[in-house]
Chains A and B, each alone.
Chain A
Amino acid sequence: MADLLSLTAHELSGKLDAGEVSVREAAEAANRRVEEVDGDLNSFVTTTPELALERAGRVDGLLRNGGVRPWEGVPIAVKDVLSTRGVRTTCGSKILEEFTPLYDASALKNFGDAPVMVGKANMDEFAMGSSTENSAYGPTKNPWDLNRVPGGSSGGSAAAVAAGEGWWALGTDTGGSVRQPAALCGIVGLKPTYGRVSRYGLISFGSSLDCIGPMTRDVRDSALLLQAIAGHDPRDSTSANVEVPDYLAGLDAGVEGLRVGVVTELMDERIDAGVREVVSKVAAGLEAAGAEVGEVSLPHAYYALEAYYIIAPAEVSSNLARFDGVRYGLRVQADGVHEMYRKTREAGFGAEAKRRIMLGTYALSSGYYDAYYAQAQKVRTKIVEDFRDAYARYDVLVSPTSPSVAFEIGAKTDDPLAMYLQDICAVPASLAGVPAISIPGGLADGLPVGVQLMGDHFTEPMLLRAARAAEQAAGFEFAPRP
């Protein structure tokens, strides 16, 4: 049964459907793997082995009668920012240590009653971070090297997939938090078009940026998991009322004639040479497979990180105002309601959450609003226009996902600016709301390098097809680590 852990999710799904393996056997294998490696990795805030078995039993029962969708029986890790009915949801924060949601996130609704979930994956507190060192429940380790970070903020989800603790995971991406940890852990991470997946039940960080995305072993698994979570949701007013296509159809159609532009601004000296080399090789591989490859400029990409680090904290300062000790979460008793708010938030939030609340409150405060927030929103317009111009000439844009391979735990914790630089390649697509996927392109210094492919709004079928070709060109084979 050890071989089970080497299958991709779609291969496992085929075996479940054919009756060669039961969902219970798959859940047991995932639970055993969690038991075996999670003491070292700390991929999960909460593990749910019994729940996984109980839900596996339900899906096994349904399988005998048919009508189970191909993703339902495949055990999954769910980032702890997504509300799960009856299972505590901490968001990586002390302020929600005892919080148990009353409902499931809408992204989970196509899993029947509930997914076969092995656990709630560790994360940077409120999804703020690029290393999963900001979790109140301790850092997650990278399965490729336990002294290194898995990336963040969906580092627990990435490490869980890379280590075979379940076959796939859901993460969330505000400024790169699905793509960057996927890159650092050698897996596939997809940020769909903003609005493609409902945000209902996702604990908000940057509401105009947050996207739920698949973290998987390969591109086909990414297409399958996106199929499961995409769709319009009347309960989320930012959810797009756009029909969901078949993401698996045409996946292997190749890239003959597809126009691919490598983004010049994201291939400069800020990116490690080893990372650039891998990206160039994959671009050459796409050309060999029949794509037309050229260079493209996103002139305002140089300003994207700065705009992001105004817009996202501004939205944080508003979104995190709900954690006040009244309706849920931690309360620190005090004499007077304002003192209770202050003490609760002082005790409940970690350093990065506090830093971003302060930054956002400052940027929105009287006298600074126009200089910072309004200007950042105008930069965002320029970035949207850059993408529009680029897509007039190219179908897919290519860049590194992250400027470096996984760094050592603690290397950047005292320098917020150095940590923020991790997101330079990822934030342009976040601000524009376009879909972007990271695939493992190869290794540098023995560690995985992610290659990012970006498409125009709602072009996921084409983007996934290009990513599939890039994956084949890279020739990177997934195997659970360590």
Chain B
Amino acid sequence: MISEEQVRHVASLARLGLTEEEVREMGGQLDAILDSIEKIRELDLADTPPTANPLNLSNVLRPDEPRPELPKEEALAPAPDPVDDLFAVPRID
């Protein structure tokens, strides 16, 4: 059973604000989902390697050649609250 305290802890790890009502609902919903997911633990897969990606990917590198970068004003254009030429954030707490 996932307690409200655990819900708040996971939300804080995710930097996600939840209303009190969401905290109450989320515990029950996560419980139900995790209960159904529990089924995969019945498989003995100790010797099975994991698959992270369906293609056998290796690191893809590009040549280390200088290229024009995104102009600063374009990069900042979608920012909600830029200051001067910078992405600004409130006080680091």
Contacts and interface: CB of A to CB of B under 8 A. Distances in A.
Interface in A208-259: 208, 234, 237-238, 240
Contacts of B57: 237-238
Interface string B59-93: 11010000000100011011111000001011111
B36 A335 contact: no
B36 to A, nearest CB: 6
A372 B37 contact: yes
Given A237-B60, A336-B91, A321 B15 contact: yes
Contacts of A328: 78-80
B84 to A, nearest CB: 15
Interface in B1-39: 2, 7, 10-19, 22, 26, 29-30, 32-34, 36-37, 39
A338 B29 CA distance: 26
A18 interface: no
Interface string A325-341: 11111110111111111
Contact of A102 (B36, B62, B78): B78
Given A240-B55, A377-B52, A341 B15 contact: yes
A361 B14 contact: yes
Contacts of B53: 194, 208, 238, 433
Contacts of B29: 355, 416
Contacts of B48: 378, 381-382
Q: Which DSSP category, helix, strand, loop or mixed, fits chain A's interface?
A: helix
B89 A340 contact: yes
Interface residues of B, number: 52
A359 B33 contact: yes
A362 B39 CA distance: 17
A330 B80 contact: yes
B55 A357 contact: no
B15 A345 contact: yes
B54 A194 contact: yes
A303 B49 CA distance: 16
Nearest to B38: A306
B13 A384 contact: no
A379 B38 CA distance: 13
Given A208-B53, A378-B45, A432-B54, A357 B14 contact: yes
Contact of A327 (B18, B32, B43, B87): B87
A199 B59 CA distance: 17
A156 B64 CA distance: 42
A431 B11 CA distance: 27
Interface string A344-383: 0111010100110111011001000001101111111110
B91 A379 contact: no
A359 B79 CA distance: 29
Contacts of A379: 40, 43, 45
Given A237-B60, A358-B7, A309 B16 contact: no
B3 to A, nearest CB: 12
Nearest to A325: B80
A307 B60 CA distance: 27
Contacts of B75: 102
Nearest to B9: A365
Interface centre among B12, B55, B74, B77 (most CB of A within 10 A): B55
Contacts of B59: 237
Contact of A433 (B11, B18, B55): B55
A326 B79 CA distance: 6
Interface in A185-211: 194-195, 208
B45 A416 contact: no
A416 B51 contact: no
Contacts of A300: 43
18 contacts: A100-B78, A306-B36, A306-B40, A309-B37, A325-B80, A328-B78, A333-B81, A334-B90, A337-B89, A341-B15, A345-B17, A346-B17, A346-B19, A347-B17, A358-B10, A358-B30, A371-B41, A416-B33
Interface of A: 99-102, 194-195, 208, 234, 237-238, 240, 300, 303, 306-307, 309-310, 317, 321, 324-331, 333-343, 345-347, 349, 351, 354-355, 357-359, 361-362, 365, 371-372, 374-382, 384, 416-417, 420, 431-434, 457
